[in-house]
Amino acid sequence: MNRTTEKLHEIGQSIWLDNITHRLLASGTLLSYIRELSVTGLTSNPTIFDHAIKNSNDYDDVIRRKLDEGKSGEVLFFELALEDLRQAADLFRPIYDRTDGVDGWVSLEVSPLLAHNTTGTLAAAKALHSRAARPNLFIKIPGTSEGLPAIEEAVFAGIPVNVTLLFSGEQYVAAAEAYLRGIERRIAAGLNPDVGSVASLFVSRWDVAVAERSPTSLRNQLGIAIARDAYEKYRALLDSSRWQRILNAGARSQRLLWASTGTKDPHASNILYVEALALPFTINTMPEATLKALAAHAEFGEALPEDSNKVLAEFAKAGIDTDTLAAQLLGDGVESFAKSWNDLLDCIASKSGTLKAVAV
């Protein structure tokens, strides 16, 4: 077991991998990450699958088989993704069982084209959850204004939810309250309140967005300050009487997850966001490069107390309106994921055409 990665678990933080590919599963690499690097879950998104299918032949046999079954487009993709994610979920199942469902999760996203469609998102979440047939698979739903009621309804229906594309403490609280409402309704209806959930706050995109406007003294500090602010709100919610009531009724805490934690600035530490956000009761979902960089470090410093309000005030003085930027980042994130989704379907269509031509 790698001592550096294990230290995060000692602090109280889970390490999840922000990647999944057929090769990662078939080669035994994911299993080695679980055994040697303390990885206890993973997340996926359309961009990950697009790159995996586009840049390799690893999925050709699966696509060919699905074509023979008459599948195409979005239907083909979800069957392909579910095959990978079921395998991953089974690898993490011992962790899920050992931690009584606290850890050991994988995630699958509904179509990003549904980000502003509450009814469509809920229907897709129910269908994917049923088809996955794994207790440790989250359905990812974006924290848009239309996504929030879908999150509440999905949780009320007993569907584990990973709330994605959150960019601020305020957006996090809105997502947490949607989760709470779903659980409170289950309790009122006499249903089991034990429905898993995480809330994913994206970090590094903040620093990319302000890279050209940040004073040198504040470079690469905004994403961390925003995350720390969200963490303070998270801990306050966990200590609230409302949260304590659902815990007493048998519910579990929705955990805060750090997403987009790969360092984008080549001049900064390659584990910048790992060190700064090594905080208990959280998850860090890391790209493979960041996971390997962490494992290569002999040691890393624990997160030090930080006055996030002071840092945010300095950015305000520099003319950066974080409320406006948070809304912009959410909108940009939805557009980016939608583009990746369309690219993914184009890639599948192109590869399907190629495979059909070869088969003739």
Q: Please state whether beta strands 255-259 and 197-202 pair in parallel, antiparallel, or not at all (unpaired).
A: parallel
CA separation, residue 125 to residues 71, 114, 140, 345 (Å): 20, 11, 8, 19
Q: Which two tokens stand for residue 118?
A: 């509450």
Question: Is 126 a residue of the active site?
Answer: no
Written as one string, the DSSP assignment of 230-278 is HHHHHHHHHTSHHHHHHHHTT--PPEEEEE--S---TTS-TTHHHHHT-
Cα(222)–Cα(228) distance, integer angstroms? 10
3-class SS of residue 60: helix
Pick the catalytic residue: 140, 233, 292, 317?
A: 140
Nearest-angstrom CA–CA distance, 77 and 270:
33
The residues carrying an active-site annotation are 140
